[in-house]
Amino acid sequence: MEPYKSQIGQPVSRLEGHLKVTGTARYAGDYSVPGLLYGYVINSTITKGKIISFDTSRAKALPGVLEVFTHENRPSLAWFDLQYADMDAPPGSPFRPLQDADILYNGQPIGLVVAETFELARYAATLMDIEYEEEAFDTDLRSQQHLARSPKIGMATMLKPLPPKPKGNFEKAFNASPNQVSAEFFHGTEHHNPLELFATTTVYEGKGKLTIYDKTQGTINSQMYVANIFGLKFKNVRVISPYVGGAFGSALRPQYQLFLSVMAALKLERSVLVTLDRHQMFTFGHRPPTVQRTRFSADNNGIITALNHLAIGETSRFEDYTEVVVNWSHMLYPAANTLMQYKLVELDVYSPLDMRAPGGVTGMHAIESTIDELAHKSKIDPLQLRLTNYTEIDVSLNRPYSSKELRECYLQGAEKFGWDKRNPEPRSMRRGNKLVGYGMATGIWEANQLPAKAEAILTGDGKLKINSAVTDIGTGTLTVMTQIAADELGLPVEDVEFAYGDSKKPFAPIQGGSFTVSTVGSAVKAVGAAMRKKLFSIAKKMKGGVFDGADLKDVSFEGGRVFITNDRSRSVSFQEIIAANDNKPVKLSKFSVPSILKLKKYSRAAHSAVFVEVEVDEELGVINVTRAVTAVAAGKIINPKTARSQILGGMIWGISKALREETIQDDGLGKYMNQNLSEYHIPVHADIHELDVIFVDEKDTVVNELGTKGVGEIGIVGMPPAITNAIFNATGKRINQLPIHFDMLL
């Protein structure tokens, strides 16, 4: 028999890939159950004020329109804020659709038309006669900065720590340093635009029972939200989300289509599909606009002496959405004097929402641009400055890193990119009529683990099934979990089924923060180990005494058999074990809980080093990112193929953030003006050139049983500053406002 080849570390192609590319995979809006009704959302056309009157009669008169729900006729609902809170709710009072006549932001859902077809519902939604009383509003962060205040503290603070306390004396140290840099940064609003639109199909099963196909990053999160608000029993609400066409944080919180679909289904006692259209994707959470100010200084040897980083982010009037923006610089650079500040400004907008590397990609742009400028001023190579200030411990918390191979990222990335060919003098490198610039930056993202449960079932055919409520938001969760389970029992991937995306299955938290592999993967590993133990204990009792005198440590599991490691002739098959178990499948589950006591002695983070080449047409300003190399240290890489896709996706989004993507906001009107994919510019193929990913070996025995750190966000973090630093090297211009429009270089 061939020795078992570990599945962990293999570039296994997505197991559901064929279903997706052939259109067989069904998403939340693809379940046309019998008698399905269609909902279309009516959105507020004013930014702030009250609805004075809401006449729906013209719509209701259309044959085929069943109901128009508004704040005036909605069913009575849960009263307390807590009942509307979800796993990702920031401190405050969660938004309640159709709550009352108050308008809190432009585009607020204020009604739902339910009709026999989508087209009819959409048309009926244009026949509303609504009178508003408008009030003055503010949506402009920059003009309201003077109102910045400290954020409220809540549950969310656990995963999003506030800035560390000041150290030393920043002002004194900064003023005494020979090399000082200060800069101001502005990032505009960005909106979530995953390819799949938000949709919920609520199947009305009768007797207070619902089956809900929802676009979500957490089936149990949606289940809990629905049950709490609508007063349903947990067990009567089943949320299924087998395929998710990208989410990136947008579906961490239940969005209003879920609420409205369930409300309509319960009231009408029918199944209801509510799909948001593309412009409605701009009517809930977004990456918040942020103003940042940095002041960094170094001595003449390039030792960083003082760090001050202030960020002012936008939030809504009803919740304090926060991000970790300013905590990163001191995790990377051990200055003796620091001052980190984070504040919020309330505006008349919807609460911001996590978007890939929330806070990290914002803060690191400011940090790594300022470091680059400090290197330039100190006449030190930017890579050398980072190596000079390299730290093995997280000085912001005085804890060692569980592992940190960032130095290798720097060295391997620089080697692959050819960093040694960089001329530090801005405007010194050319290719034809183009200026060429090289830039680099560091990336960092936290490596967390949350509790999760998994169930394993070994059946009479010797095959393993693993159950978890977790979603797969397109990252490759299904494939990776299958690989982890396969390794635990020494089975080929084909003999393992990972069943997921269903709230009836064992608990998994929301899928985000790059913690899913560490969280659910650890549970899968734990239940796999428990299954080994159980199988062995059954095998030991089997007739024939194959394993007499042997312990679990003496045996191996490979190819559907258990055998004595040193004597392969002594073995039994999984089928034989199940037969010995009265032909009953072996079923067990395991909760995996992070060992907090051990973990809190360490800081845990994935790191990256990013190197970018840009070409700038000097006369016309046109910028192209012609090459980029990202070297990543993120612990154990379970599947280098899906992991590479994560990093590439992050790098492309980094190009988008630096050069393309922006929500255009008209603060006079208090609304977003480019609510479509034609004018909301994300990169096209012609924008993307050579991209390269290196995974640096990193062994971590602390972070979790698997040694994984997650790769969902680290790919984006370092890209924007590497690009802006390359533009500086090319042109001598430092543009601190993202995205950079090419005309800013004219």
Closest CA to 603 of 414, 746, 397, 431: 397
195: contact with other proteins by CB under 8 A = no
Q: Which residue is listed with tokens 């999003």?
A: 160
Q: How near is the Cβ of 662 to other proteins at its closest, in Å?
A: 9
With binding defined as CB under 8 A, does residue 671 bind other proteins?
Answer: yes
**742 sits near other proteins (criterion: CB under 8 A):** yes
Q: Looking at 20-28, 476-484, 662-670, 694-702, which segment touches other proteins (CB under 8 A)?
A: 662-670
Distance (Å, whole) CA 338 – CA 170: 5
Residue 189 sits in the site that holds other proteins (CB under 8 A): no
Residue of 319, 368, 446, 713 marked active site: 713
Q: How far is the CB of 245 from other proteins (least distance, A)?
A: 19
Task: Please pick, from the candidates 154, 164, 683, 732, the single residue that binds other proteins as defined by CB under 8 A.
Answer: 683
Q: Check binding of 63 to other proteins (CB under 8 A).
A: no
Q: 461 or 619, CB closer to other proteins? A: 619
Binding other proteins (rule: CB under 8 A), the pick from 376, 604, 657, 660 is 660
d(Cα 606, Cα 608) in Å, to the nearest integer? 7
Tell me how many residues contact other proteins (CB under 8 A): 35
Unique residue bearing structure tokens 């299958």: 482
First and final C-alpha spacing in the chain: 67
**Shortest Å distance, C-beta 742 to other proteins:** 7
Per-residue x/- marks for other proteins, 386-425, CB under 8 A? ----------------------------------------
What residues numbered 29-58 form the site for other proteins, per CB under 8 A? 45
Considering the rule CB under 8 A, would residue 746 count as an interface residue with other proteins?
A: yes
What is the closest distance, in whole angstroms, from the C-beta atom of residue 256 to other proteins in the complex?
19
Bond prior to 720 in cis (omega within 30° of 0): no
Looking at beta carbons only, is 126 or 175 nearer to other proteins?
Answer: 126
> Binding of other proteins at residue 674 (CB under 8 A)?
yes
Interface with other proteins, residue 21, by CB under 8 A: no
* C-alpha distances out from residue 541 to 69, 349, 548, 556, Å: 64, 65, 9, 17
- Which of 22, 76, 569, 678 touches other proteins by CB under 8 A? 678
Q: Of the two residues 82 and 673, which places its CB atom closer to other proteins in the complex?
A: 673
Q: Which residues, 6+ apart, have CB-to-CB distance to 88 below 8 Å?
A: 156, 221, 252, 253, 354, 510, 512
- Among 494, 679, 690, 697, indicate the residue that binds other proteins (CB under 8 A): 679
Nearer to other proteins, 182 or 433 (CB): 433
Closest to other proteins by CB, 331 vs 745, is 745
Only one of the segments 313-321, 386-394, 601-609, 684-692 lies at the binding site for other proteins (rule: CB under 8 A); that segment is 684-692
Short-list 573, 394, 410, 432, CA closest to 1: 573
User: Is residue 713 annotated as part of the catalytic site, yes or no?
Assistant: yes
CA nearest neighbour of 235 among 216, 198, 208: 208
Closest residue by Cα to residue 272 from 511, 563, 28, 521: 28
Shortest distance (Å) from residue 123 CB to other proteins: 6
* Residue 43 · residue 274 · CB < 8 Å: no
Which of residues 619, 690, 697, 701 is near other proteins by CB under 8 A? 619
- What is the DSSP track for 167-178? BS-HHHHHHH-S
Q: Please, what is the minimum distance in Å from the beta carbon of residue 188 to other proteins?
A: 11
Q: Applying CB under 8 A, which of residues 592, 665, 725, 729 lies at the interface with other proteins?
A: 665
- Does an H or E element contain 256, and which? helix 256-268
Stretch that binds other proteins, among 137-145, 308-316, 330-338, 677-685 (CB under 8 A): 677-685
d(C-alpha 525, C-alpha 533), whole Å: 12
The CA-CA-CA angle for residues 564, 567, 572, to 5°, reads 50
Applying CB under 8 A, among 245, 617, 702, 737 the residue interacting with other proteins is 617
624 touching other proteins, by CB under 8 A: yes
105 DSSP 8-state letter: S
- Dihedral of the CA atoms 546, 550, 551, 555 (nearest 10)? -60
Among 687, 692, 733, 737, binds other proteins (CB under 8 A): 687
Residue 622 as a binder of other proteins (CB under 8 A): the answer is yes
Q: Which residues share a beta bridge with 612?
A: 439, 628
Of residues 138 and 558, the one with the C-beta less far from other proteins? 138
Selected range binding other proteins among 160-168, 499-507, 632-640, 670-678, rule: CB under 8 A = 670-678
Asked if 139 contacts 47 with a C-beta cutoff of 8 angstroms, the reply is: yes
Question: Residues 1, 79, 684, 699: which binds other proteins (CB under 8 A)?
Answer: 684
CB of 474 to other proteins, least distance (A): 23
What is the side-by-side strand order in the sheet with 496-499? 496-499, 464-467, 452-458, 586-592
Give CA–CA dist 528/485, Å, rounded: 6
Long-range contacts of 75-84 (CB under 8 A, 24+ apart): 75/263, 75/266, 75/267, 77/229, 77/230, 77/263, 78/228, 78/229, 78/230, 78/231, 82/228, 83/228, 83/229, 84/225, 84/228, 84/229
690 binds other proteins (CB under 8 A): no
Site string for other proteins, 104-143 (x = CB under 8 A): ---------------x--xx--x-----------------
Cβ-contact 475, 191 below 8 angstroms: no
- State which of residues 432, 549, 596, 597 lies at the interface with other proteins (CB under 8 A): 432
Minimum Å gap between C-beta 686 and other proteins is: 4
**E strand spans, 673-716:** 690-695
Q: Does 686 bind other proteins (CB under 8 A)?
A: yes
Window of 49-57, 355-363, 420-428, 679-687 that interacts with other proteins by CB under 8 A: 679-687
Q: Say whether 422 sits in a helix, a strand or coil.
A: coil
Integer Cα distance of 710 and 402 in angstroms: 14
In this complex, which beta carbon is closest to other proteins, that of residue 206 or of residue 432? Answer: 432
Measured between alpha carbons, how far is 60 from 510 in angstroms, rounded to an integer?
Answer: 39
Q: Report the SS3 class of residue 191.
A: strand
Does 743 contact other proteins by CB under 8 A?
Answer: yes
Q: Which residues bind other proteins (CB under 8 A)?
A: 45, 119, 122-123, 126, 432-433, 617, 619-622, 624, 660, 664-666, 668-669, 671, 673-674, 676, 678-679, 681, 683-687, 741-743, 746
Catalytic residues: 713
